[in-house]
Structures are given as C-alpha cells and as structure tokens.
C-alpha cells in the first residue's frame, strides 16, 4: 500500500510521485531533497552540490508553504502527517540529524518505531504529558 505524507501546516501532499519532497537547509545552503516513502528506508536523493555532514542537524521545510517542519516534541525530529486506512491523520516523525536512522509513527494503539537509532529517543514522552520537574 502506498503511504502518502502531508505538511502539517498547509496539508499539501509531500509525495505526489514515488518520493517525498522537502527543502533542506543548513547555514546558507538550501536544496530540494527526495526521501524514500517506505518506513525504515533511509534512501535520499540530493544534488551533488549539496554536502551532507554526518551528525549535523538540518532544517526540513515544506516545499510548498516553506514552513519549518521541526518537531515541537524534540528539536532533533521532523514532524509530518500521514493518513490511516480510515482517513485519520497520524504524526510521522523522523530524525533530522544526518546519518541518524530513527522514525516514529503515532497510532491510536501506541508508537511504531523504525531504524537502528530509534532507541536514542526512548526518554521522549510521545503522548504530550509534561515531565515531572520536581522529581516526584
């Protein structure tokens, strides 16, 4: 089944073809990049003129509305939307650190994790409760 992805800001389709399209930025560099739509597949297509550095944090933007897709849950993640079989939107988050393979799909019954680095995010509270700051 083909999974479709949408911008959480403008709700426009991010993968009108076979790949997911983003604007990626770092410092003064900005390019279009294409990601594989399959969960757990970390293939990427980008221009040879754009240099990715392992471990570097990149900003992902919607190619249509140009909104910053950084997660408010964790600044190391990008948030986009997908639809369930019944048409309900679900959040899909993935690492915006180059070389870090971690993807999360937030379903009604929990969080599905993909990628060998997903455990780096185990301390995150994916369901929005505020952390206990008093240690209680």
Dig out the tokens for 18 from the structure: 């076979």
Which CB contacts under 8 angstroms, 24+ apart, belong to 102-105? 103/39, 103/40, 104/77, 105/39
- Give the global pTM: 0.86
Q: Residue 132: pLDDT above 90?
A: no
Whether the per-residue pLDDT at 44 is higher than 90: the answer is yes
The answer to whether the CB of 95 falls within 8 A of the CB of 111 is no
For 82-97, write each residue's pLDDT tens digit.
987 778 889 999 999 9
Predicted confidence at residue 135, as pLDDT, reads 40
The residue whose two tokens read 């249509």 is: 64
Q: Where are the domains of the chain?
A: 5-121
Mean pLDDT of 33-59: 95
Q: What share of the chain is helix, strand, coil (3-state, %, to 5)?
A: 5, 35, 60
The whole-angstrom separation of Cα 36 and Cα 42 is 6
Q: 48-71: per-residue pLDDT in tens?
A: 999 899 999 999 999 999 999 999
């Amino acid at each position: 089944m083909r999974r479709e992805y949408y911008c959480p800001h403008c709700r426009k389709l991010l993968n009108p073809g076979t790949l997911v399209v983003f604007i990626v930025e770092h410092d003064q560099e900005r390019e279009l990049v294409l990601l594989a739509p399959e969960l757990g597949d970390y293939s990427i297509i980008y221009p040879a003129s754009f240099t990715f550095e392992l471990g570097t944090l990149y900003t992902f933007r919607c190619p249509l509305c140009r909104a910053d897709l950084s997660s408010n849950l964790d600044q190391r993640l990008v948030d986009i939307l997908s639809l369930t079989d019944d048409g309900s939107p679900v959040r899909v988050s993935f690492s915006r650190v180059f070389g870090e393979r971690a993807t999360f799909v937030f379903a009604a019954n929990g969080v599905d994790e993909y990628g060998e680095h997903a455990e780096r995010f185990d301390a995150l509270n994916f369901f929005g409760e505020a952390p206990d700051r008093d240690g209680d």
